[in-house]
Amino acid sequence: MKQITFLCMLLFPLIFNPSLSEAQSYDMFVGTYTSGTGSKGIYRYNFDISSGEARPISVIETPNPSFLAKYDNRLLAVNEGEGEQATLSLFDISTGNVKLIDKSTTLGDHPCHVAFDAAGNIALVSNYSGGSLALFSLTDNRSKLILHDLLEYEGGGPNADRQQQAHIHSTFFNEGLAYVSDLGSDQIHIYSLSHDGTDLRNGALTLNEQASIYTIKGGGARHLAFSADGLTLYSLQELTGQIAVFRKENDEWLLKQIVSLYGDGFEGRQGGADVKISPDGGSLYATNRGDANLILHYAVLPNGLLEWQNKYSVQGAGPRNFAITPDGGYVLVANQDTNRIVVFKRDAFTGDLEDTGKHIEVPAPVCVIF
């Protein structure tokens, strides 16, 4: 029965999204650190799903684009710096000649994450060192950035080295709400958004806190993912190398499970980095960039809980981020410390990964998106 259910989950997106099964290649963007690495900025590729090869297209010169977000023909990049060097850049990627069309300071040091809302009209930027969250709208056919709100956070956690203050690390949207992870205080803040005008260029756009989820003390909430039904939340804990699984019951998020990002007996430095659900909803993957340098695979059970499947070497060091191709056929892991992206082939039925032996050489890769 489990195999039949999994097969139905696999076929559903292909039946109702024929473009996924028909696509032969994908536009791919890689964000990097440029300071002292030799990198120029954002690297654009064409990724061929029949061969697993990535063909270089162009380089977008911009400083320290450590995280990217894409909506239609617009690309956002946070430029991770301090003061006036902490910025959000907006690019037009509709043609091969990529253009920078707007740029804004984020009013907080070291922005490390940016996310579009479902409509592509709002962007939220996480300022890590600044401990703040910046709310932007995109107006005039998504060609202009307007900063509407800045939330500054206080508090810390038990890890004296990493949690002296708030460290906003990411924002993810689910069913119209924004979920903001604070590594410093081990919380996930949940916001609705409201606007008092008909045009985003006019009126106030604000964030309204609805609730907070307390994660693992000292865990360091970094990134998160949601199950296909939106009722299970998987919070990646950077500092303890764990995933905290929450299930929504009666409008409350309840902790149901904690799983580790390493095998039994591992005693090295932890470094939970990224977590994602496969397009078919049947698998969850997460990277541990500490001493482990692994990508972990878990099956997602019908009740949302995780069942450990396997662990794989990332064939490098510092797997900060990874991406799954929209068809679910490949997983690409960005190894920051060894300057390469490793390409894994993903089994459509089991979710198992196989190293293809194909590598994309790029300086200090830290973000991959399709």
pLDDT tens, position by position, 122-174: 999 999 999 999 999 999 999 999 999 999 999 999 999 999 999 999 999 99
Which region among 177-181, 222-226, 245-249, 264-268 has the lowest average model confidence (pLDDT)?
A: 264-268
Query: CB-hemisphere CA count at 13 Å for 147?
Result: 15
- Give the mean pLDDT of the chain: 92
Contact 159/239 with Cβ under 8 angstroms?
yes
E strand intervals along 156-314: 168-174, 177-182, 187-195, 205-214, 221-226, 232-237, 242-249, 252-260, 272-277, 283-288, 294-300, 306-313
Give the predicted TM-score (pTM) of the model: 0.91
Identical fold, 1-62+216-370 and 72-214: yes
- Name the CATH superfamily housing domain 72-214: YVTN repeat-like/Quinoprotein amine dehydrogenase (2.130.10.10)
- Cα dihedral sign, 11-12-13-17: positive
Q: What SS3 state is found at 128? A: coil
Domain spans, the chain: 1-62+216-370, 72-214
Query: Above 80 in pLDDT, residue 204?
Result: no
In the block, tokens 């090869």 appear at 53
Q: In the β-sheet with 330-335, what is the strand arrangement from edge to edge? A: 319-324, 330-335, 340-346, 353-361
Q: When comparing pLDDT for 223 and 21, which is higher?
A: 223
Query: Above 70 in pLDDT, residue 19?
Result: no
Q: Which CATH number fits domain 1-62+216-370: 2.130.10.10, 3.40.50.1260, 1.20.1300.10, 3.40.50.1820?
A: 2.130.10.10
Tokens of 348: 């459509």
Residues 348-363: tens digit of each pLDDT: 999 999 999 999 999 9
